[in-house]
Amino acid sequence: MTVSNLAPLPRYADAARATRHVFIRDLMLDSYIGIYDHEKQSPQKIRVNIDLSVIEGPTGLQDNIDNVVCYEKIAKDIEAIVAAGHVHLVETLAENIASMSLQDDRISCVRVRVEKLEAIKNTTSVGIEIERSRAQ
């Protein structure tokens, strides 16, 4: 597949589409994740990054927390997903985070990156990135 055949990535903040970009960078968590026995016995460090394309409401901000997607709530929800128990694949964790995010009707698109920071010797991290939207 050539680059010209790829669909362009969405712009998360876009005035023409009345969307804003909410993000969380470098959420560091201890997680029970992996397929190997040693990964099931002790937690390992992961890093989560998330980008949300949020549809702006018709009432505007009005300086009211109820009129925005709260990044603190998103972070706590991610922490709860990670704390819920062992998962084998980073892909599964990313899908769970994306699904949780899209439960908020204001979120039209989400990009999730999950990195394992201690999995492969001589690397900073390994992991995956996914993007999901209401259209999928």
pLDDT in tens, 1-14: 344 455 555 678 88
Q: Sorting pLDDT into bands at 50, 70 and 90, what band is 127? A: very high
- Please check whether residue 21 lies inside any domain of the structure: yes
pLDDT digits (tens, 9 = 90+) for 87-100: 999 999 999 999 99
pLDDT at 3: 44
What is the pLDDT at residue 62? 82
Place of tokens 């603190």: 72
d(CA 13, CA 53): 7
Query: Has residue 22 got a pLDDT over 60?
Result: yes
Q: Does a structural domain hold residue 72?
A: yes
Q: What integer pLDDT is reported at residue 1 of this predicted model?
A: 39
pLDDT tens sequence across 104-120: 999 999 999 999 999 99
Tally of domains in the chain: 1
Domain span at residue 99 reads 9-133
Structure tokens at 25: 């960078």
- One-letter amino acid of 54: V
Residue 111, in any domain of the structure:
yes
Distance from C-alpha of 40 to C-alpha of 33, rounded to nearest angstrom: 7
| Residue at 3 is within a domain | no
Rounded CA separation 73/99 (Å): 15
Q: Is residue 44 part of a domain?
A: yes
Question: Is 2 inside any structural domain?
Answer: no
**Is pLDDT above 50 for 20?**
yes
Give pLDDT tens digits for 56-68: 888 777 888 888 8
What CATH number does residue 65 fall under?
A: 3.30.1130.10
Residue 117 lies in a domain: yes
| Any domain includes 1 | no
